[in-house]
């Protein structure tokens, strides 16, 4: 009889515990709160360049990890009118945040309009410091230029004529050029003989580099501070029969650039960790929407946003020794 009573008591206890379990909230499987209705949009341009593949990759990765929607919009070329139109269309979708590549101050009014409508904006890659953007995530561009400058100065023995391929007026490229110039100030034998506008186009870059090689037959190096210049400079050097004689330091990690590094046409490339830019920018925007870091007793009243104002995603020098690790399938 005792055994039966013990069994019955055990059964009742098990049923009670089971009942308590049914009343409790479902176990968290790791998904947490459903935020799949939140949307974060990146507005850019020049999506025809291999470089911006990493921007799209970063947006996709962060969306999947956070469980939110992400989108990448903007023209295939450097068309500011089209990019502004894409920005305005992004605002109309009322996303939880906008990531924008700050190509030109012409974007500042769109940034202001987004902020006025309660949509936070973070710039990536190129900054808009005079806009109302909340933060910037990208390469510390002056330091990137310095790293490239030190590499090329050592390569040419601290002496020789060099040319720079860029897009004048673009803040991130101006800063990289500044970094190179700061290093060259320490090498009186290095002379910057020309700074050419390539307009973000490899064909124009090749034409510009060809003209420079004809004008300066003793040129020691061509420096590229944006993604299109490397392949253009390589084309010009190959056609002139100057492979190995004229050193090329490219920018970023397009497969075409990597192949030419392995072939010995391009000497090296200063590569940004590009995918990290939109990845961390969306993290910042996501935290603005979903978190509250208590920096003060009342962040809003104190004017505290609770986010970093700037994140430096850094650069890597790619040479023949490590180029194979950066090739995309």
pLDDT digits (tens, 9 = 90+) for 176-205: 999 999 999 999 999 999 999 999 899 999
Instruction: Return the pLDDT at 306.
Output: 85
- What's domain 141-272's architecture? 3-Layer(aba) Sandwich (3.40)
Which of 176, 247, 237, 246 has the alpha carbon at shortest distance from 208? 237
Dist CA 219 CA 88 (whole Å):
45
If 0-12 CB within 10 Å is exposed, 13-18 middle and 19+ buried, where does residue 206 land? buried
Reply yes or no on whether the pLDDT at 25 is more than 90: no
Q: How far is the CA of 89 from the CAs of 42, 138, 225, in angstroms?
A: 12, 24, 31
Domains 39-139+274-289+302-313 and 141-272 share a fold: yes
Instruction: Name the CA dihedral angle for 218, 315, 104, 76, rounded to a multiple of 10 degrees.
Output: 90
For residue 12, what pLDDT band results from cuts at 50, 70 and 90? very low
**Residues making up the chain, counted from first to last:** 329
| Domain residue spans of the chain | 39-139+274-289+302-313, 141-272
Q: What is the pLDDT of residues 54-92, one digit of tens each?
A: 999 999 999 999 999 999 999 999 899 999 999 999 999
Q: How far is the CA of 71 from the CAs of 56, 63, 95, 149, in angstroms?
A: 8, 9, 10, 36
Q: Are 119 and 97 spatial neighbours (Cβ–Cβ below 8 Å)? A: yes
Instruction: Return the pLDDT at 32.
Output: 65
Dist CA 106 CA 126 (whole Å):
13
Q: What is the mean pLDDT of the chain?
A: 90
Q: Are 154 and 268 spatial neighbours (Cβ–Cβ below 8 Å)? A: no
Instruction: Return the pLDDT at 210.
Output: 98
Alpha helical stretches, state H, the chain: 2-23, 53-66, 80-92, 108-116, 141-155, 171-184, 202-215, 229-239, 255-263, 276-290, 299-302
Average pLDDT of span 136-156: 96
Instruction: Return the pLDDT at 19.
Output: 40
- What's domain 39-139+274-289+302-313's architecture? 3-Layer(aba) Sandwich (3.40)
Q: Across the beta sheet with 97-101, what order do the strands follow?
A: 69-73, 39-43, 97-101, 121-124, 135-138, 310-312
Instruction: Return the pLDDT at 297.
Output: 83
User: What percent of the chain shows pLDDT beyond 70?
Assistant: 90
Q: Across the beta sheet with 247-251, what order do the strands follow?
A: 189-197, 159-166, 219-224, 247-251, 268-272, 315-318
Which of 274, 275, 271, 247 has the alpha carbon at shortest distance from 323? 271
Reply yes or no on whether the pLDDT at 248 is more than 90: yes
For residue 172, what pLDDT band results from cuts at 50, 70 and 90? confident
Average pLDDT of span 143-160: 97
């Amino acid at each position: 009889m005792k055994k039966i009573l013990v069994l019955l008591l055990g059964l009742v206890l098990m049923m009670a515990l089971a009942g308590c379990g049914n009343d409790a909230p479902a176990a968290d499987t790791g998904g947490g709160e459903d935020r799949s209705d939140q949307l974060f949009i990146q507005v850019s341009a020049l999506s025809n360049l291999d470089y911006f593949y990493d921007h799209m990759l970063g947006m996709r990765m962060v969306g999947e990890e956070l469980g939110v929607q992400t989108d990448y919009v903007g023209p295939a070329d450097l068309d500011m009118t089209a990019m502004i139109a894409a920005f305005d269309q992004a605002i109309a979708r009322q996303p939880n945040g906008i990531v924008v590549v700050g190509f030109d101050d012409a974007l500042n009014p769109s940034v202001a309009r987004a902020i006025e409508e309660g949509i936070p904006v973070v710039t990536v890659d190129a900054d808009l410091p005079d806009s109302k953007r909340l933060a910037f995530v990208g390469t510390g561009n002056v330091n990137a230029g310095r790293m490239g400058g030190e590499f090329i100065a050592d390569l040419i023995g601290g002496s020789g004529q060099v040319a720079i391929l860029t897009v004048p007026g673009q803040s991130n490229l101006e800063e990289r050029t500044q970094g190179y110039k700061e290093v060259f100030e320490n090498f009186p034998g290095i002379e910057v003989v020309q700074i050419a506008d390539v307009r973000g186009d490899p064909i124009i870059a090749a034409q510009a580099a060809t003209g420079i090689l004809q004008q300066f037959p003793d040129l020691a190096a061509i420096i590229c501070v944006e993604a299109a210049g490397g392949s253009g400079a390589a084309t010009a050097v190959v056609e002139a029969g100057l492979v190995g004689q004229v050193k090329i330091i490219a920018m970023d990690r397009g497969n075409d650039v990597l192949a030419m590094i392995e072939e010995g046409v391009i000497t090296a490339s200063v590569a940004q960790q590009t995918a990290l830019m939109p990845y961390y920018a969306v993290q910042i925007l996501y935290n603005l929407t979903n978190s509250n870091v208590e920096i003060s007793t009342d962040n809003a009243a104190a004017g505290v946003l609770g986010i970093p104002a700037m994140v430096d995603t850094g650069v890597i020098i790619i040479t023949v020794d490590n180029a194979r690790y950066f090739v995309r399938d």
